[in-house]
């Protein structure tokens, strides 16, 4: 499975999460490509089966400036057939922690991207064992989700099979 990890990180905490997951996914046999989000275009996601997008949060009302172009491009392209999961470091004591991640992931959902149901959030630096494990387990769960095939069902009329119809769920 070809996996992309794109992130923005000012003080390195989100980047550390990305590295933990990169190592985990590579150990599971994935080909993993990791880049800073401000160096890629949304369209490049079409080259991958699965993508992890990571952001820090400094301002709850907007995505970090390094991710702004990426955010704007989401409006402009037809969603490629890639599954996307979100992660990031923030202040989990904040009343709305890691808000920037929600802004970007909601935008992708609105546009019809297949987005994983839960977001991985770590408080500041992922150093203690529990936080590292949380990142590894998230990578495992997303990988299982990413490997699931879309389900197709056939419409039938009087017992005759007609054309296949995708049932639309991203969480099969
Ligand atoms: C000026 C400033 C504002 C911040 N605002 C938020 C915030 O609104 N919500 C949040 O969850 N974390 C907030 N944080 C915490 C950072 O997101 C956190 O330190 C994170 O680990 C930074 O990630 P990075 O190391 O990948 O840059 C803020 C930190 C700073 C320094």
pLDDT 10s digits, 38-53: 999 999 999 999 999 9
Q: What angle do CA 58, 63, 69 make, to 5 degrees?
A: 140
Domain contains 51: yes
Report CA(55)–ligand 1 centroid distance (Å): 10
Report CA(3)–ligand 1 centroid distance (Å): 26
Domain contains 122: yes
pLDDT at position 7 over 70: yes
Domain contains 172: no
Q: What is the CATH number of the domain that holds 93?
A: 3.40.50.360
Cα separation, 10 vs 27, in Å, equals 27
Domain contains 171: no
Report CA(119)–ligand 1 centroid distance (Å): 16
Cα separation, 35 vs 7, in Å, equals 7
Q: What is the pLDDT of residue 149?
A: 78
Report CA(90)–ligand 1 centroid distance (Å): 5
Domain contains 37: yes
Domain contains 41: yes
Cα separation, 80 vs 73, in Å, equals 12
Q: What is the pLDDT of residue 152?
A: 56
Domain containing residue 126? 2-166
Residues with CB under 6 A from ligand 1: 9-15, 56-58, 60, 89-91, 94, 97-99, 124
Residue nearest to atom 29 of ligand 1 (CA): 58
159 contact partners, CB below 8 Å, separation of at least 6:
none
Give the pLDDT confidence of 42-85 residue by residue, as tens digits.
999 999 999 999 999 999 999 999 999 999 999 999 999 999 99
Q: Which ligand 1 atom is the nearest neighbour of the CA of 9?
A: 26
Determine the residue of 18, 89, 101, 123 to mutate for testing ligand 1's pocket, defined as the one with the most ligand atoms within 8 A of the Cβ atom. 89
Cα separation, 88 vs 60, in Å, equals 13
Helical ranges in the chain per DSSP H: 13-27, 68-76, 99-110, 129-147
Report CA(146)–ligand 1 centroid distance (Å): 29
Give the pLDDT confidence of 92-123 residue by residue, as tens digits.
999 999 999 999 999 999 999 999 999 999 99
Give me the number of domains the chain comprises: 1
């Amino acid at each position: 499975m070809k996996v992309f990890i794109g992130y923005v990180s000012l003080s390195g905490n989100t980047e550390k999460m990305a590295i933990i997951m990169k190592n985990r996914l590579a150990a599971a046999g994935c080909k993993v490509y990791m880049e800073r989000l401000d160096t890629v275009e949304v369209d490049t996601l079409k080259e991958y089966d699965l993508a992890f997008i990571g952001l820090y949060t400094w301002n709850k009302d907007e995505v970090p400036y390094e991710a702004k172009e990426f955010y704007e491009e989401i409006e402009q392209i037809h969603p490629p057939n890639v599954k996307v999961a979100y992660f990031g470091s923030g202040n989990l004591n904040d009343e709305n922690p890691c808000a920037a991640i929600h802004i970007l992931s909601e935008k992708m959902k609105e546009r019809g991207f297949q987005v994983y149901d839960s977001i991985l959030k770590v408080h500041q630096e992922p150093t203690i064992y529990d936080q590292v494990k949380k990142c590894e387990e998230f990578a495992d769960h997303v990988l299982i989700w990413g490997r699931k095939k879309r389900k197709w069902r056939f419409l039938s009329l009087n017992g005759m099979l007609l054309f296949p119809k995708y049932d639309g769920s991203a969480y099969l």
